[in-house]
Structure formats: structure tokens, C-alpha cells
Chain A
């Protein structure tokens, strides 16, 4: 088979190719650079759709698999092993969708060192997609760490006033967690003689439970920081607020999902008994995150920081769903990852638009904007409602399935978790509506705000795909669930087998 035209290879490495091409363009030709980057990312998106076309939704297994020896020294069998299944396909599509949107959003916002920016951005895309397709732990780790560098530079160079602090905090924090994961990866590789994820899953339940728990925690250290789970979240508001808009969109939209995806792809199937044992604890931290993130969001004066903290709350829902360890919970969790990427991504875009006009994000500086910018107001309202889970929009479908899943979950063991999580739904309405109110309602009394221009065509174009998906998932989620359902069922069945074996 010709690997160069393999859909996964194309999707993963085409952005890399684009960034190489950018190297040969003079930095002064900013518009050419922008167009090359945009077209590269759009083509990548089209390739990802081709991948989707080849994907068989009824097959619960890994598809389009490539498994070649890569590094074989001293008895280590590291393979270049990639593939896609129902757990990862939506996240790949989310990545390839958000990247062109983000690039388009930087058209006027980024004017300094455009070439470097676009190169890093495309490198980042390759890294992120790599994370979602890697099926070899070592390869996964390479991609995982690889994403840090471009993001670190995006924040550190194009960020806000406190960008250095934020960038270093982001980098060292994530790195610290990754080291523990790396140790666990090496332990597995040496002890089990393979880095292949499917093989490790097959043999995972044989590891004694107490060791599983240690391994689980080591992986969890990396992923929980990334998600971020409470109380490991404090890098997130700094990184989000300081990052340029496109960086925030990708950070919230995709990179946080790398953490939740890690739990789903590695922690739960590779250490099933540990996952079952620790599920109540994971749920507990998830619920604390939901409530805590919501409470802190309300306290913010900076609208971007508010959105950033709301991610802590929303990702708590995802974690609660995943660790319900039943089909409803996990499906809801995956869908909620996508939903959060769409809604929060859109919110960051919207915040970026107003920041570009007014150079402030302090909510007290606004008020009555609906009158000055009606289109902007209407779009923000829709996205806000989607973020707080209004039925008919995407957020509700995710939260509803997660609540159904966690309510009846045997692994979590108590409906109280769902009960407290549901309070987060009220709180989300509180902080989001107050945000909307402070920005858009009330009298339009500040001179600076009266002359604001409504959105231009380019800005509307960046929002349209997100809005379409927000409605689509909200009204007709069937195709999205259909993509993931077989893989999730398989995962849950494996968990049940592991649990019964452990009992005997």
C-alpha cells in the first residue's frame, strides 16, 4: 500500500508539509503566507473528510491501521503504529475544522512575525492529530510532547502582557505531569515487551490491581493536568488569557481534549480494574471541578478569563461522563468534548473580535452592545446558550446524556454525583447570562462603544461552520453518536469482562 496517500498520513503530515513550504516564502509577503496556511489547513480538512468517507461506522475496531517497525533497539519494539476508531475520529475532525477557522481569525489580529506564527500553527496541527491517531505509546508520547513546543511559542511570542509567565507555567506544568506518564510508559514497554496500545489493552487486565492503580495514576498525572482537573487547573486561566485568540481557540478546543482523550484511550481500557476502582474518585474531582470552575467564572471581570474558567467546569462534565463507565456516559463525554470545542472555541473567537476593536476585555467597559452590534449580539447569544446547555443546541445533548449516564452508573455508585453536577448547569446559566448582560444589555452609554462596527464578512465566515454544527448536534445528534457508538460499546464490554475476571 502506498503510505504517502494513506488518508491518515495525509491528514497528519499535510500541515507539516505546508509549514515546510512556508519556510521558502519571504516574511514580508504576509498575505501570501496567510493564504498558504489557510489553504493548507483547508486541504487538511478535506483530507479528513475523505478519511471520514472511508471510515466504517459499524466497525468497532481500529481502522486504516498502519503498523510498521520504527525503532527496534535493545529489544524495545517501538512501532510506527497509527489508526483511527470511533473514539478518536470526531476529535480528529474537530482539530481539522478548528485549525482553518483559527487561521482565518488571525487575518488582521496577527501582524507581527506572521510567517513564524503560521509555521508554528501548522506544526501544532500535525502534533495534535498525531496525538489522536497514535497507537504506540512511544509514538504517542512523541506527539504529545511535540504539541507543547509550538503552543509554548504561540503564547510566549504573540501573547498578552504576562505571556512569559503564562507560557512557562503552561510548559513546565504540563511537562511535570508528562514525566510521570513517561515513566509508566517505559515500565509498560519493558515489563510487557510492547508499546502497542491494542496489545497492552489485551493484556491490561492481567496486571495486578495495585500496580494498575499506580500506572493509572501516573498516566492520570499527565492527562489530569491537561484536562485540567481540579485542583491542577491553575495554568489554564493564565495560558488562555495570555494566548492570542487563535491560540486560545486551539488550546480550549483541541488541546484540553488531549487530556480527556488520554483517559479514554489509555487509562480506561489499559487499566480497567483500576479505572473501575477509582471511578468514584474521578467523579468526585470532576464534580468539584464543575462547581468550582463555575463559581470562579462568576467572579471574573475579564471576559476571556471567565470563558477560560468555564472550561474547567465544562471539562468536569466530560470527565464525569467518561468515568460513569457506561455507554451513555462515555458517549456523552465524547460528544461533550466536541461540543466544548465548538462552543468554547466560538466564545474565544467572539471575545477576540471585541478585543480587536476595543483593546480591552474588562466587562465593565461595555454595556448595551446589542444596539451597536446586533449581529455580534445575536451570535454571542446563540453560542452562550449552547455553552450553557439549552435544549435544541449541542451542549444540552452532551450534558443530558452525561447526566443520564452518571445517574445510573454502577461504577460511580451514587446518583449524588449527577445531582451535584446538575447544579453546575444552573451556575453555568448564572455566569454566562451575567456575562451576556454586562456586555450586551443595558444602556449603550460609553462613547467608545457607540462607534463600534458590527462583524465583517470574514468574521461571520469564521463563525458560520461552528453555528451550523451547534444546531446540527443539538437537533439531530444521531450521526455523531452513530460514529462512536460501536467503539464505545466495545470498550464498555471489555470493561465488564475485566471486572468479572477480577471478581473470580
Chain B
């Protein structure tokens, strides 16, 4: 089998798994998860083979001649719109992180959905499992977790999701990328609303889909504009055509003074704003935590939100077309601004969240803002680097939080306490009860905070800061540095509240380490969260720089038609990142180390009003409700339907009917009765009745009206013909 065939086949196993489970095996739980995980394994294996071949081919070879293959799909005018697959260096590293995270999440799902546990006492489809009562050998009753009632369906959906992500990554063109993009949108809708009988899940799923769709439509317009101008949607045909890029960068688009490239770039970027939950379309992501935790990890860490960033990275040659001498293009400025703002904005909200998953959700929004900002200032490699490390450590953190929730639920069943298993103020002391979860979560948390040298997050975050600093983007540098401080702070707050200190509730005291299917993926991801940074250590870094070559930079940079150099080393950003990471971690530990059971957040009082604003996410949900949703509903229900459709349009129609009726009466009274008396009664009566019937009054003699209508038509015609055409 050739490498190109293999690339085509990569997305297929999960798709097949989806169909097999939906159509045939949905009643058999073990078979369903075997098929699904097996499919994820095949795709993983294939991806590793492709990655290996890609690396073996060498960066420059691969950059110039990627593995590519395409077929005709849609005939448009005289040219075919082709779809195809391509593996260039960017795709290769993309495949690497997608394959690993997706495969790990699939394995984890088996444990998370309680495989092997008994059926629940009162569980029903569409609701999370509520636990089952078992009787042990001594005759004691115990409550234990119960298996998910729609177990097979879950594995089918995540299979379809994986298909979408693989399709997106290996696409060589905007069209199939968009197809994968939307399939993931659909799956995220289905998976967020997996427990569809819960009203909150029902609201979250629709919010997620529609908010991202707002971005998608702009992106679709961007694709339309791109095609209209270039007559192709293939990446390389556009990026490696210097003349074309130059023309796009210099032709004015007629919109807001943007060039064609600028307009397309901004339209596409709005797609990313929706998908990667950037301000102001960030509102869907926190609510999306309604889905099961593996879903949160897939959607909010490893794949879907990363896809938004991946797309702009992919389109970078277009977004940066026309940038000269360090000047930023309009799309880049938009990215730098939105990204940096979102990084800080979301990090500040994360400070005041108590739900373990919501903290991570806002942290994700914030970290995606980092990548967007990095790309905005032209730090191409740094953006890719952070995308990769973040995918690993954030997937780890989400899965870890799922493991924590599971452990907590176990404790809750054990002591029969009615508390929220996701609230961090109910936890504490879990490091002893759940050691594997603790150590791996710590690895992920430190990576997220950018703990120096040993974690992957440090290297990627530092590279972004160094890039911003050395190119003189002070605002971006300052904002991101401050956001990094907050990040380290809320991460340590989370770790301290969850794992350190003493248990704050009885349930936390009886928490239990989870099944190996859940802890194994944690360990694997933790290895990446620590070790993956070594592939991108800058050459000029003091002491250890150059010991290992900066492989990542040399590899991915060949994706671009013009290779960017590495930024020079400078102590200022390095010291900044050391200070903010360590300082934030210390403060987070110091403030939260002794929070007693039942106490509220120690920052709540001193921060007062600000805390409330943060806790309520700056009231964006409420604001959007007032300025968008309520008026839209009013416009739809009252203005368009009641006023326009019912009153005006139908009103005019009924008015015409009434005139016909009046005319009928006039004919009858003034013409029929006196003049034709008797002979013409028929016509007058009938006209009158047509009028009546159109006034919504219903009589029944339809055939007569038809006859009249025909008579009138024919009469009018003859009149017309004779008056106009007789010479």
C-alpha cells in the first residue's frame, strides 16, 4: 500500500465504526467499544506510520514535495473543484498530536462511562447514570457507579468526531477542511447534549452549535471570496503562487479599506473566533461542559478548538500576505488584538470559578488566545509549538478532572452525601486517595503554568513571549505576561483546592483512584506534557540550548514558502516568564493552602464587586440575551410574523378580496339587477361569493368559484386580444 493510499484511509476507521455501531452493534456494549477503540487504534497506527515516513523524508523534501493526492469532486464552470489529501510538515505534526490525544481519550472513555459496572437502579436514556445498589457477600447494600445507559451511542459519536478531525487535518484544500470542521461542529452538538433529557444540556448544545455557526458562516463567505478571486481552494496552489498572493495583497476589496487578502483573512479568522471560542464568540465553551468529560477533553482541548487555530496557522501565508519589515497586516492585527485580549480576559474569569471543569474551560479559551496572538505577531513556529503542547497538557487536565469527578462520585455514593462532585470547594486532600491522578494532574498543571525547564508548556509559552519581545510588540508581550501570571495562579489554586490540604467533605475523604483504563491515558499524556517541550528548545538558550537540535522549528518552518528565522535570545522575556510562572504558582498555593471545609473563596471578600463580575463571566450571557436574542425573537415573532405576514401581506390580500366583493355588489345593484335583471345574476352572485370566501368566511361551493374564475380569465383574455391585436 502506498503512503498516499494510507493517508486517504486515515479518517475512515472511526467513520466505519460510527456506522457499524449505529446500525448493528448498538445493543452490545463490549463489542461497540471494541470496534470504536479498535478504529481509533488503526487511525493512530496509520498516523504514526505516515508521521514516520514524513520525518524520514526530511523537512525540506517534505516542505517542497508533500505527500499529496486529489480527485475531482465538483465541476464548477470549466474547472473542477478538486478535493484531496496532503501531508506536509504542518500536517505531520498535526497528525501526531491528534492521533495520540484521540486514541488516549477513546481508551479513557471506557472507564469513564463505567464499563463493567452494573445497570443503574433508576437510570434512563438521556440522563447521566445515577448509581446502582449492589449487595455484597455479607448482605450489605452498597451504592456504586452504574454504567452509562447509552454506552454504545457514545462510542459511535466520538468515532464520527474523530473522523471529522482527521479529515480536517489531512485536507489539502479549504473545502474538505470545512467539511471536517462542520462535522465536528455537529458532533460537538450531539455530544454536549449527550444527556439530552437534562434541560441545561439541551440549552448548551444549541448554544454551542449556533454560536460557532455564526463564525462558520463568515468563514464560508471567506471561502467564497477566496474562490471568487483565485478560482481554487487548494492551499499550495494559493500559497506557493507568489504573484497571486501579491495581487491579493494589493488589490483593494472595496470593504472597509481592506485588500482582498485582508478581507478574506479576516472572514476566515472570524471562523476561528467561533470555533476556538475567542472573544466575543467565547460564550458557548463554558456551557459545553455539560457533556461527559471525555467530550470536554476532545472538544475543548485536543481537537475541535485546536482546529480553529490549526486553520489560521494553515492559512498563515495568506493572512500575512503583504506584511513587510515587521509590519502586521490587518488580519494579523486583528488576531494579535483578539488573541491577547482573550488570553487575559478568560484567564481573569477562571480565577473566580469553582467548578473544576469550568476553570479548565476558561483556561482553554485563554490558552487559545495565546496561540492566536502568537500567530498575529508572526510567531508562526511558536503558535504551532503551543498548539501541540497545549493539546497534550490540556487533554491531560480534562481527563484528570474527569478522574477526580469520578473519584468524588465514588465517595459520594459511599457516604451518601448530597454535594456537587465538580465543585473544588468540596474536594481537598485527594493526592493521597488518588495518587496517579494527582501526579499526572500536577504535571499537566505545571505545564499549563509554564513551570520552568522541565515542562513542555514552559518552552512553548516562553517562545511566544520571546517572539513578542524581540519584535517589539510591547502590548502583546505585557498582556500575555500578565495572563501567564493569572494562569499560574488559578492553576495552583485548582491543584491546592483539589489535591492538597485536608478533605473538605466526607465524600472527598472516601474518594478512590479510578480504573486503569482511565489512569493509563493520564500517564501517557503526562509524559508528553513534560517531554514534548524538548523538541523545540531554542538553539541559543543558556546552558542547554543546542544540546538537542530545535527539531520542531526546522521541521515545520518548511511548510511556509518563505522560511522564517529563529528569534534571538534575550534575558528579559525569559526572566519575565520565570517570574510570572513561579510567582503565580506560589501565590496560588499561598492563598488557598488553608481553606477550611465549608469556607468560601478567600478572595471573595477582598475583591468584592470585581469577584462577582468575574464569577458571572462579565455578564456576557446576560448582555447577549438583551442585545441579540430578545430583539431577534421579538423581530421574528412580532414584526415579521404577526405584523408583516399576517397583518400587512395577508391584509392587503384580504383588502383586494373585499374590493372584489364590493365591486360584485356594485355590479349587482347598479348593473345586474336593473339592467340584465335575472340573466346576469349568476355572475354577480358568484363574484360576491368569491369575495366573501377570501374574507376568511368559508362557504363550501368550491366548484362554482373555479368556474367563475375561469370565466373571468377567458373573458378578460378575449377582451384583451380583441382590443390589442385587431388591426
Q: How far is the CA of A283 from the CA of B199 in the complex (A)?
A: 40
Given contacts A292-B640, A401-B74, A429-B209, whether A422 and B193 have CB atoms under 8 Å apart is no
Is the beta-carbon distance between B693 and A299 smaller than 8 angstroms? no
Given contacts A234-B649, A391-B182, whether A425 and B213 have CB atoms under 8 Å apart is yes
Is the beta-carbon distance between A478 and B75 smaller than 8 angstroms? yes
Q: How far is the CA of A186 from the CA of B182 in the complex (A)?
A: 51
In the assembled complex, A481 has its CB within 8 A of some CB on chain B:
yes
Is the beta-carbon distance between A422 and B183 smaller than 8 angstroms? no
Q: Which residues of B contact A208 (CB under 8 A)?
A: none
State which of B52-60, B534-542, B602-610, B713-721 sits at the interface with chain A: B713-721
Minimum CB–CB distance from A157 to chain B (whole Å) comes to: 9
Q: How far is the CA of A482 from the CA of B73 in the complex (A)?
A: 11
Is the beta-carbon distance between B182 and A296 smaller than 8 angstroms? no
Is the beta-carbon distance between A168 and B196 smaller than 8 angstroms? no
Q: Which residues of B contact A411 (CB under 8 A)?
A: none
In the assembled complex, B586 has its CB within 8 A of some CB on chain A:
no
Is the beta-carbon distance between B717 and A190 smaller than 8 angstroms? no
Q: Which residues of A contact B635 (CB under 8 A)?
A: 295
Q: Which residues of B contact A422 (CB under 8 A)?
A: 217-218, 220-221, 224
Is the beta-carbon distance between A164 and B126 smaller than 8 angstroms? no
Is the beta-carbon distance between B126 and A368 smaller than 8 angstroms? yes
> How many of A's residues come within 8 Å of B, CB to CB?
71
Looking at A156, A190, A443, the one whose CB has the most chain B CB atoms below 10 A away is A443
In the assembled complex, B134 has its CB within 8 A of some CB on chain A:
no
Is the beta-carbon distance between B696 and A165 smaller than 8 angstroms? yes
> With A419-B221, A422-B220 given, can you name 4 additional A-B contacts, CB distance below 8 Å?
A370-B196, A403-B221, A423-B217, A477-B74
| A–B pairs, 23, beta carbons within 8 Å | A164-B700, A169-B694, A175-B709, A186-B717, A295-B641, A296-B641, A296-B645, A299-B636, A300-B641, A327-B76, A370-B126, A391-B181, A391-B182, A392-B179, A396-B179, A404-B224, A404-B227, A423-B217, A425-B217, A442-B202, A477-B73, A478-B75, A481-B75
Chain A residue at minimal CB-CB distance from B645 = A296
By Cβ-Cβ distance, the 7 closest A-B pairs, closest first, are A408-B228, A391-B179, A299-B641, A299-B637, A407-B224, A327-B77, A441-B196
Q: Which residues of B contact A408 (CB under 8 A)?
A: 224, 227-228
Chain A residue at minimal CB-CB distance from B656 = A176
- Residues of A at the B interface (CB closer than 8 Å) are 149, 152, 156, 162, 164-165, 167-169, 171-173, 175, 179, 182-183, 186, 190, 231, 233-234, 292, 295-296, 298-300, 326-328, 331, 368, 370-371, 378, 385, 390-392, 396-397, 400-401, 403-404, 407-408, 415, 418-419, 422-423, 425-426, 429-430, 433-434, 437, 440-444, 476-478, 481-482, 485, 489
Minimum CB–CB distance from A464 to chain B (whole Å) comes to: 13
Q: How far is the CA of A476 from the CA of B179 in the complex (A)?
A: 13
Chain A residue at minimal CB-CB distance from B696 = A165
The 8 Å CB contact of B636, one of A298, A331, A444, is: A298
Is the beta-carbon distance between B636 and A426 smaller than 8 angstroms? no
Q: Which residues of A contact B675 (CB under 8 A)?
A: none
Q: Which residues of A contact B175 (CB under 8 A)?
A: 400
Q: How many of chain B's residues touch chain A, expressed as a range?
A: 35 or more
The 8 Å CB contact of B706, one of A164, A171, A378, A401, is: A171
Q: Which residues of A contact B218 (CB under 8 A)?
A: 422
Minimum CB–CB distance from B53 to chain A (whole Å) comes to: 28
Interface set, chain B 215-229, CB cutoff 8 A to A: 217-218, 220-221, 224-225, 227-228
Given contacts A172-B694, A423-B217, A429-B209, whether A390 and B182 have CB atoms under 8 Å apart is yes
Q: How far is the CA of A478 from the CA of B74 in the complex (A)?
A: 6
Q: Which residues of B contact A430 (CB under 8 A)?
A: 210
Q: Which residues of B contact A485 (CB under 8 A)?
A: 75
Interface set, chain B 13-59, CB cutoff 8 A to A: 22
Minimum CB–CB distance from A205 to chain B (whole Å) comes to: 22
Q: How far is the CA of A391 from the CA of B217 in the complex (A)?
A: 12
Q: How far is the CA of A400 from the CA of B216 in the complex (A)?
A: 12
Q: How far is the CA of A284 from the CA of B555 in the complex (A)?
A: 50
Is the beta-carbon distance between A371 and B126 smaller than 8 angstroms? yes
In the assembled complex, B251 has its CB within 8 A of some CB on chain A:
no
Q: How many A-B residue pairs have CB under 8 A?
A: 181
Is the beta-carbon distance between A478 and B72 smaller than 8 angstroms? yes
Q: How far is the CA of A304 from the CA of B635 in the complex (A)?
A: 21
The 8 Å CB contact of A234, one of B193, B227, B645, is: B645
Mark each residue of chain B from 318 to 353: 1 if its CB lies under 8 Å from any CB of chain A, else 0.
000000000000000000000000000000000000
Is the beta-carbon distance between A164 and B220 smaller than 8 angstroms? no
Is the beta-carbon distance between B197 and A441 smaller than 8 angstroms? yes
Q: How far is the CA of A171 from the CA of B209 in the complex (A)?
A: 40
Q: Which residues of A contact B228 (CB under 8 A)?
A: 404, 407-408, 415
Minimum CB–CB distance from A379 to chain B (whole Å) comes to: 12
Q: Which residues of B contact A437 (CB under 8 A)?
A: 202, 205-206
Q: How far is the CA of A465 from the CA of B713 in the complex (A)?
A: 41
Q: Which residues of A contact B178 (CB under 8 A)?
A: 391
The 8 Å CB contact of A433, one of B125, B209, B717, is: B209
In the assembled complex, B475 has its CB within 8 A of some CB on chain A:
no
The 8 Å CB contact of A426, one of B202, B210, B717, B720, is: B210
Chain A residue at minimal CB-CB distance from B255 = A415
In the assembled complex, B214 has its CB within 8 A of some CB on chain A:
yes
Minimum CB–CB distance from A476 to chain B (whole Å) comes to: 8
Is the beta-carbon distance between A433 and B210 smaller than 8 angstroms? yes
Given contacts A167-B702, A168-B702, A169-B694, whether A425 and B220 have CB atoms under 8 Å apart is yes
Is the beta-carbon distance between B182 and A444 smaller than 8 angstroms? no
Given contacts A296-B645, A434-B206, whether A418 and B221 have CB atoms under 8 Å apart is yes
Is the beta-carbon distance between B124 and A371 smaller than 8 angstroms? yes
The 8 Å CB contact of A171, one of B75, B210, B709, is: B709
Is the beta-carbon distance between B649 and A478 smaller than 8 angstroms? no
Q: How far is the CA of A326 from the CA of B210 in the complex (A)?
A: 31
Is the beta-carbon distance between A368 and B217 smaller than 8 angstroms? no
In the assembled complex, B591 has its CB within 8 A of some CB on chain A:
no
Chain B residue at minimal CB-CB distance from A416 = B255
Chain A residue at minimal CB-CB distance from B163 = A392
Q: How far is the CA of A477 from the CA of B72 in the complex (A)?
A: 10
Is the beta-carbon distance between A152 and B706 smaller than 8 angstroms? yes
The 8 Å CB contact of A326, one of B77, B126, B698, is: B77
Is the beta-carbon distance between B636 and A418 smaller than 8 angstroms? no
In the assembled complex, B527 has its CB within 8 A of some CB on chain A:
no
Mark each residue of chain B from 686 to 727: 1 if its CB lies under 8 Å from any CB of chain A, else 0.
000010011010111010011001000100110011000100
Chain B residue at minimal CB-CB distance from A488 = B77
Q: How far is the CA of A186 from the CA of B690 in the complex (A)?
A: 27
In the assembled complex, B186 has its CB within 8 A of some CB on chain A:
yes
Minimum CB–CB distance from A355 to chain B (whole Å) comes to: 22
Q: Which residues of B contact A328 (CB under 8 A)?
A: 76-77
Minimum CB–CB distance from B716 to chain A (whole Å) comes to: 7
Q: How far is the CA of A144 from the CA of B693 in the complex (A)?
A: 24
In the assembled complex, B633 has its CB within 8 A of some CB on chain A:
yes
Q: Which residues of A contact B6 (CB under 8 A)?
A: none
Is the beta-carbon distance between A391 and B202 smaller than 8 angstroms? no
In the assembled complex, B653 has its CB within 8 A of some CB on chain A:
yes
Q: Which residues of A contact B189 (CB under 8 A)?
A: 433
Q: Which residues of A contact B690 (CB under 8 A)?
A: 168, 172
Is the beta-carbon distance between B709 and A164 smaller than 8 angstroms? no
Q: Which residues of B contact A179 (CB under 8 A)?
A: 713, 716-717
Q: Which residues of B contact A392 (CB under 8 A)?
A: 179, 182-183
Interface set, chain B 637-652, CB cutoff 8 A to A: 637, 640-642, 644-645, 649-650
The 8 Å CB contact of A385, one of B186, B205, B706, is: B186
Minimum CB–CB distance from A326 to chain B (whole Å) comes to: 7
Is the beta-carbon distance between B75 and A442 smaller than 8 angstroms? no
Chain A residue at minimal CB-CB distance from B725 = A190
